[in-house]
Amino acid sequence: MTAGSSTNLERAKLRFIEDLKEAGITARSVLEAIKKVPREAFMPPAFKAASYENRALPIGEGQTISQPYIVALMTHALDVQPAHKVLEIGTGSGYQAAILCKLARRVYSIERFSSLAAGADKLLATLNITNFVGKVGDGSVGWPEQAPFDRIIVTAASPKVPQPLLEQLKVGGLLVIPIGPQEGEQRLMRYYKRNDGTIGEYFLGNVRFVPLVGKEGLKPDAKSA
């Protein structure tokens, strides 16, 4: 990357941070985490110049890196604290995980595609992010061996909330997930586990995500590989 393009990206990032503030993303910790993580490092070479444009972009395997505003919105809604243990479903490029790692004690992440998981592991290590643990598997069933979690974030849309994720969420914990059909708009939801075990919910907005494929999501045979 040339010095000029690097400067342009830095300017684009600063403009993007200001746009986030105007859009209501005001938590200083979230904004600082976004500032510290170079989104361009997670982009395919052909799209690096578009790193801070507010659009989802392809990363291979039919998957995308989410719009940076949606990443910020989900992170803000998750309200991650320094002592928290976080589960992420859908590692993808590793960008969301990198931001979470700036906020949490430890982040566990599950990715369905081994190629994406390997790429994210390598990139996060290159960025000296050491509080990340990833694996390849079915994210819809969570990571019971590491449960419970203070926070869970799902970066793929499910027809319903996977029950295993609710079970692996601590009392007082938050789960952020897009709910809806494979095609068309979905509802980005935040779920809160009350002291009596019941679940409260809050609607964050309409979104479009790739589907959550797995035992508790979209069945693998319902979607071509």
- What the block records as the tokens of 223 is 């979607």
Cα angle, residue 154 at apex, residues 149 and 159 outer, rounded to 5°: 120
What b/e readout covers 53-90, taking b as 16+ CB neighbours within 10 angstroms? eeebbebeeebbbbbbebbbbbbbbbbbeeebbbbbbb
Q: Which position among 66, 93, 109, 158 bears the catalytic label? A: 66
Contact 57, 65 (CB under 8 A): yes
Across the chain, the runs of DSSP E, i.e. the strands, are 57-60, 63-65, 85-89, 106-111, 132-136, 149-154, 169-179, 186-193, 199-207
In the annotation, is 224 catalytic? no
Residue 185 CA to residue 173 CA, distance in Å, equals 26
Of 188, 202, 130, 117, residue with least CA distance to 154: 188
The catalytic site residues sit at 66
